């Protein structure tokens, strides 16, 4: 089957806790609300791609449980092809708990569950059945599946975008198969040892990432925008000015929008500008995948 963008990644049920403040160690607090929402970096990115008008499939795994069934139904309803999602009999669906404070910042803890059950053979079998121009992948599934997917994509001349998230999942071998890497500040520090505080430190980190053999680099600097580094040249793309109310999934929205724009423009700077708008719209809204903007909404913002 042919797709514009293939996404390999996690599929989770997220438990969202909205609280005025994070509790101290050992403390009990009453929160504002607790809700369950579809999530997972792979699922979020695939939904972002689909809402921006591209044909996409999600390659991943859920448990053969009620949460897994709900998550697949949700993806189907958002025009994400779920043909290549594996239903694990051994592991349950991945589950993450996200705490969001009054500033909109989030802290997460979770279990990968079925996401970690994906194997090299799974990837080989699936990639024999698909064609795509871009592979978008993160680091929330098994290491074997990540490497196998990236290798298969390179063999098929796909442009491989590695979103090295979460930082906990980072491992060096994946870097050699990436055409573009898009770390945030925490992930950049994990990989390079450099704390990104401004444009100069972002550039230093980008050069170090490029030295790992990765052709293209985008260092995400949060509210300070992002730094695009390619062919020895750096360009800073500003973030749009919004009041952040919910940052859950913002990086995933950025990744999906970046891949979608790059498919059309083949221009990383323009794609980073487009992705910054999409992510900015996302963080100004409450909610998960439903808060990811459509192509029309991004175009209308850009046209203001």
Q: Per residue in 73-121, pLDDT tens?
A: 999 999 999 999 999 999 999 999 999 998 888 888 989 999 999 999 9
| Angstrom distance (rounded) from CA 212 to CA 67 | 39
| Angstrom distance (rounded) from CA 267 to CA 82 | 29
The answer to whether 198 is a known catalytic residue is no
304 pLDDT above the threshold of 70: no
Q: Where are the beta strands (DSSP E) in 222-303?
A: 226-230, 233-237
Q: Tell which residue, 191, 263, 181, 264, has the closest CA to residue 227.
A: 181
* Residue 135 forms part of a structural domain: yes
Q: Is 304 exposed, middle or buried (0-12, 13-18, 19+ CB in 10 A)?
A: exposed
Q: How many CB atoms lie within 10 A of CB 200?
A: 10
| Angstrom distance (rounded) from CA 225 to CA 235 | 11
Paired strand residues for 15: 36, 97
Q: Which domain CATH number covers 150?
A: 3.40.1190.20
- The response to whether 282 counts as a known ligand-binding position is yes
Task: Determine the pLDDT at residue 303.
Answer: 78
* Residue 27 forms part of a structural domain: no
Structure tokens at 157: 């001349």
* Boundaries of domain holding 264: 2-22+33-302
Task: Determine the pLDDT at residue 250.
Answer: 92
* Residue 45 forms part of a structural domain: yes
Catalytic residue (one of 4, 144, 252, 267) = 252
* Residue 28 forms part of a structural domain: no
* Residue 142 forms part of a structural domain: yes
pLDDT digits (tens, 9 = 90+) for 166-200: 999 999 999 999 999 999 999 999 999 999 999 99
- The response to whether 179 counts as a known ligand-binding position is no
Give me the number of domains the chain comprises.
Answer: 1
Mean pLDDT of the chain: 95
- The response to whether 223 counts as a known ligand-binding position is yes
* Residue 152 forms part of a structural domain: yes
* Residue 55 forms part of a structural domain: yes
Lowest mean pLDDT across 100-109, 155-164, 236-245: 100-109
């Amino acid at each position: 089957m042919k797709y514009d963008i293939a996404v390999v990644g996690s599929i989770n049920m997220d438990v969202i806790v909205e609280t005025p403040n994070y509790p101290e160690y050992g403390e009990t607090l009453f929160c504002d609300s607790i809700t369950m929402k579809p999530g997972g970096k792979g699922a979020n990115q695939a939904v972002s791609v689909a809402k921006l008008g591209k044909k996409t499939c999600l390659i991943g795994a859920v448990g053969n449980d009620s949460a897994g069934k709900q998550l697949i139904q949700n993806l189907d309803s958002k025009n994400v092809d779920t043909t290549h999602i594996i239903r694990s009999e051994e592991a349950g669906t991945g589950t993450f708990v996200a705490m969001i404070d009054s500033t909109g910042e989030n802290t997460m803890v979770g279990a990968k569950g079925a996401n970690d059950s994906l194997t090299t053979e799974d990837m080989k079998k699936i990639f024999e059945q698909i064609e795509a121009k871009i592979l978008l992948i993160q680091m929330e599934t098994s290491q074997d599946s990540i490497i196998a997917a990236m290798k298969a994509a390179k063999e098929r001349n796909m442009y491989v975008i590695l979103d090295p998230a979460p930082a906990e999942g980072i491992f060096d071998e994946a870097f050699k198969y990436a055409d573009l890497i898009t770390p945030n500040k925490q992930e950049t520090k994990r990989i390079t040892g450099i704390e990104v505080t401004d444009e100069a430190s972002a550039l230093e980190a980008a050069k170090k990432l490029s030295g790992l053999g990765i052709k293209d680099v985008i260092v995400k600097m949060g509210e300070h925008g992002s730094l695009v580094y390619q062919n020895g040249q750096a360009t800073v793309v500003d973030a749009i000015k919004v009041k952040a109310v919910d940052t859950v999934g913002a990086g995933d929205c950025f990744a999906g929008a970046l891949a979608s724009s790059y498919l059309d423009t083949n221009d990383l700077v323009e794609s980073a500008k487009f992705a910054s708008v999409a992510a900015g719209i996302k963080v100004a809204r409450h909610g998960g995948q439903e808060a990811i903007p459509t192509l029309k909404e991004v175009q209308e913002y850009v046209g203001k």
